[in-house]
Amino acid sequence: MFPRQLAKGKHWLPTLAVVGVTSALIASDSRTAPRFRTTDTFSGFNRGFNGVNAGAFIAAVPASIYAIGLIKRDSYAQSTALLAGEAFADGLALDLAFKGVTGRKQPLQYAGAGPYADSFFTGTHNPFRSGGFYSVHAMAAFSVATVIAHRYRSHRWIPFVAYGMAGAISFARITSTSHFPSDVFFGGGMGFAIARYAVLPMH
* Model confidence pLDDT, tens digit, residues 13-69: 878 888 899 999 988 888 888 888 778 888 888 889 998 999 999 999 999 999 999
* CB 129, CB 100: distance < 8 Å: no
- Identify the pLDDT of residue 114: 66
- Identify the pLDDT of residue 102: 87
Task: Tell me the domain boundaries of the chain.
Answer: 2-202
Q: List the chain pLDDT tens, one digit each, 203 residues.
A: 666 766 777 778 878 888 899 999 988 888 888 888 778 888 888 889 998 999 999 999 999 999 999 999 999 999 999 999 999 999 999 899 989 888 888 888 877 666 777 788 877 888 877 778 889 999 999 999 999 999 999 898 999 999 999 999 999 999 998 899 999 999 999 999 889 888 888 76
How far CA 191 is from CA of 14, 84, 92, 144, 160, in Å, comes to: 14, 10, 9, 8, 17
* CB 65, CB 77: distance < 8 Å: yes
- Identify the pLDDT of residue 41: 85
* CB 83, CB 64: distance < 8 Å: no
The phi, psi pair for 124, rounded to 5°, reads -75, 145
- Identify the pLDDT of residue 60: 94
Tell me how many helices (H) and strands (E) the chain has. 8, 0
Look over the chain and give the mean of its residue pLDDT values, rounded to a whole number.
88
- Identify the pLDDT of residue 21: 92
Residue 1's identity, in one-letter code, is: M
Q: At what angle do helices 51-72 and 136-151 cross, to 10 degrees?
A: 30
- Identify the pLDDT of residue 92: 92
* CB 77, CB 155: distance < 8 Å: no
Distance CA 98, CA 125 (A): 9
- Identify the pLDDT of residue 112: 67
Report which of 142, 138, 121 is spatially closest to residue 196, judged by C-alpha positions.
142
- Identify the pLDDT of residue 177: 87
Confidence (pTM) = 0.88
Report which of 143, 111, 119 is spatially closest to residue 26, judged by C-alpha positions.
119
* CB 159, CB 149: distance < 8 Å: yes
- Identify the pLDDT of residue 163: 96
